[in-house]
Structure 1
């Protein structure tokens, strides 16, 4: 029997955090598979916040909505700087 004089702890496990880069890759692939221009569709989503720019194919719409739009911009900008700008300095 439990000791009722002590505080009981309950820990809620959160969904596994998916990385923004993984979301971008999966959403890109789903849009490409459906014949959309992934860049145009992702930009449309980022600018408007309207999830209908993203296909529901392969759960892409649900995935992209799990990350903040500013995180998507951050990831794209970080990738560009790391691979295009910093790479030129070498």
Structure 2
């Protein structure tokens, strides 16, 4: 038959949206407090998946690893596009 041409839907649970936002804010603050450029560090993590881009300070690395990278990207994209 060939390649399945159906479009799959990805549903992100609403409960995770607030958790993702809170974790990103905490990680951002920790990176900033340690003197890093938080945006650059988060981009490095999102692109590579390497958690060493995130500091251990204040448990930031453990926090960011509670989230899947696709969850983070979804939140960032929604905020950028200003959609709910």
Q: Which runs of 4+ in 1 moved over 2 A?
A: none
C-alpha RMSD of matched pairs (Å): 1.5
- Which residue in 2 is equivalent to 1:47? 47
Q: Under a length normalisation based on structure 2, what TM-score does the superposition of the two structures give?
A: 0.75
- Which residue in 1 is equivalent to 2:3? none
Unmatched runs of 5 consecutive residues or more in structure 2: 1-15
Taking the aligned partners of 1:52 and 1:36, their CA distance within structure 2 comes to 13
Is 1:28–2:28 an aligned residue pair?
Answer: yes
Is 1:57–2:57 an aligned residue pair?
Answer: yes
Unmatched runs of 5 consecutive residues or more in structure 1: 1-16
Q: Under a length normalisation based on structure 1, what TM-score does the superposition of the two structures give?
A: 0.71
For residues 24-72 of structure 1, what are the alpha-carbon distances to aligned partners after superposition, in whole Å with 9 as ceiling and x for unaligned? 1000000000000000000000111100000000000000000000111
Aligned residues: 67
For the pair shown, the structure with the greater C-alpha radius of gyration is: 1
How far the C-alpha of 1:80 sits from its partner, in A, is 1.0
